[in-house]
Amino acid sequence: MISVALMGHGVVGSGVAEILTTHKQKLFSSLGEEIYLKHILDLRDFPDSPLCDRFTKDFEEIIADREVRVVIETMGGINPAYEFTKRCLKDGKSVVTSNKELVARHGAELLSLAKENNANYLFEASVGGGIPILRPLHQCLVANEVQEIAGILNGTTNFILTKMINENMNFEDALKLAQDLGYAERNPEADVEGHDACRKICILASLAYGKHIYPDNVHTEGITKITLEDVEYAAAYGCVIKLIGKCKLLETGLMDIMVAPMLVPCTSQLANINDVFNGIMVRGDCTGDVVFYGKGAGKLPTASAVVADTVDCCKHLKARKYLYWTDTSENCIADHNESLTKIYLRLEASDAENAYNKAQEIFTDITRLERADAPESEVAFVTEKELPYGKILEAVETLEQSGIKVASAIRIGNL
Ligand code: HSE
Alpha-carbon 338 to chain mean position: 23
Distance from residue 297's CA to the centre of ligand 1 (Å): 5
Distance from residue 218's CA to the centre of ligand 1 (Å): 19
Rounded to whole angstroms, the Cα distance separating 230 from 227 reads 5
Maximum C-alpha span of the chain: 76
Cut 0.95: pTM above it: yes
Task: Out of 196, 204, 274, give the residue to mutate to test ligand 1, the one with the largest number of ligand atoms within 8 Å of its CB.
Answer: 196
Distance from residue 250's CA to the centre of ligand 1 (Å): 29
Q: Which atom of ligand 1 is nearest to the CA of 157?
A: 5
Q: Percent helix, strand, coil in the chain (nearest 5)?
A: 40, 25, 35
Nearest Cα residue to atom 7 of ligand 1: 297
Distance from residue 242's CA to the centre of ligand 1 (Å): 15
- DSSP assignment letter at 98: -
Nearest Cα residue to atom 4 of ligand 1: 297
Specify the pLDDT at position 265: 98
Specify the pLDDT at position 287: 98
Q: Which atom of ligand 1 is nearest to the CA of 98?
A: 8
- DSSP assignment letter at 66: T
Specify the pLDDT at position 179: 87
Q: Is 280 exposed, middle or buried (0-12, 13-18, 19+ CB in 10 A)?
A: buried
| CATH code for the structural domain at 134-295 | 3.30.360.10
- Which 3-state string (H, E, C) describes 117-158? CCCCEECHHHCCCCCCCHHHHHHHCCCCCEEEEEEECCHHHH
- Give me the tens of pLDDT residue by residue for the chain, a chain 415 residues long: 999 999 999 999 999 999 999 999 999 999 999 999 999 999 999 999 999 999 999 999 999 999 999 999 999 999 999 999 999 999 999 999 999 999 999 999 999 999 999 999 999 999 999 999 999 999 999 999 999 999 999 999 999 999 999 999 999 999 999 988 877 666 799 999 999 999 999 999 999 999 999 999 999 999 999 999 999 999 999 999 999 999 999 999 999 999 999 999 999 999 999 999 999 999 999 999 999 999 998 899 999 999 999 999 999 998 888 789 999 888 999 999 999 999 999 999 999 999 999 999 999 999 999 999 999 999 999 999 999 999 999 999 999 999 999 999 999 999 9
Specify the pLDDT at position 183: 78
Rounded to whole angstroms, the Cα distance separating 327 from 325 reads 7
Task: Out of 127, 183, 198, 276, give the residue to mutate to test ligand 1, the one with the largest number of ligand atoms within 8 Å of its CB.
Answer: 183
Whether 200 is catalytic is: yes
Task: Out of 185, 195, 223, give the residue to mutate to test ligand 1, the one with the largest number of ligand atoms within 8 Å of its CB.
Answer: 185
Q: Strand runs (DSSP E) across 268-403, as ranges?
A: 277-284, 288-295, 340-348, 366-369, 378-383, 387-388
Residue closest to 380 by CA, chosen among 372, 393, 389, 370: 370
Distance from residue 200's CA to the centre of ligand 1 (Å): 10
* CB-based pocket (< 6 A), ligand 1: 129, 154-156, 183, 185, 191, 196, 296-297
Distance from residue 337's CA to the centre of ligand 1 (Å): 28
Q: For the domain made up of 336-412, give the CATH fold.
A: Alpha-Beta Plaits (3.30.70)
Q: Which atom of ligand 1 is nearest to the CA of 191?
A: 1
User: Which neighbouring-strand residues pair with 95?
Assistant: 71, 121
Distance from residue 211's CA to the centre of ligand 1 (Å): 24
Q: Is 222 exposed, middle or buried (0-12, 13-18, 19+ CB in 10 A)?
A: buried
Can you give the residue ranges of every domain in the chain?
2-129+299-315, 134-295, 336-412
DSSP code string of 215-255: GGGSEE--STT--HHHHHHHHHTTEEEEEEEEEEE-TTS-E
Distance from residue 349's CA to the centre of ligand 1 (Å): 38
Task: Out of 156, 161, 242, give the residue to mutate to test ligand 1, the one with the largest number of ligand atoms within 8 Å of its CB.
Answer: 156
Q: Which atom of ligand 1 is nearest to the CA of 158?
A: 5
- DSSP assignment letter at 344: E
| CATH code for the structural domain at 2-129+299-315 | 3.40.50.720
Selected catalytic residue, list 38, 93, 200, 246: 200
Rounded to whole angstroms, the Cα distance separating 384 from 118 reads 54
Preceding amide of 80 cis, omega within 30: yes
Nearest Cα residue to atom 8 of ligand 1: 297
CB 45 within 8 A of CB 24: no
- DSSP assignment letter at 272: G
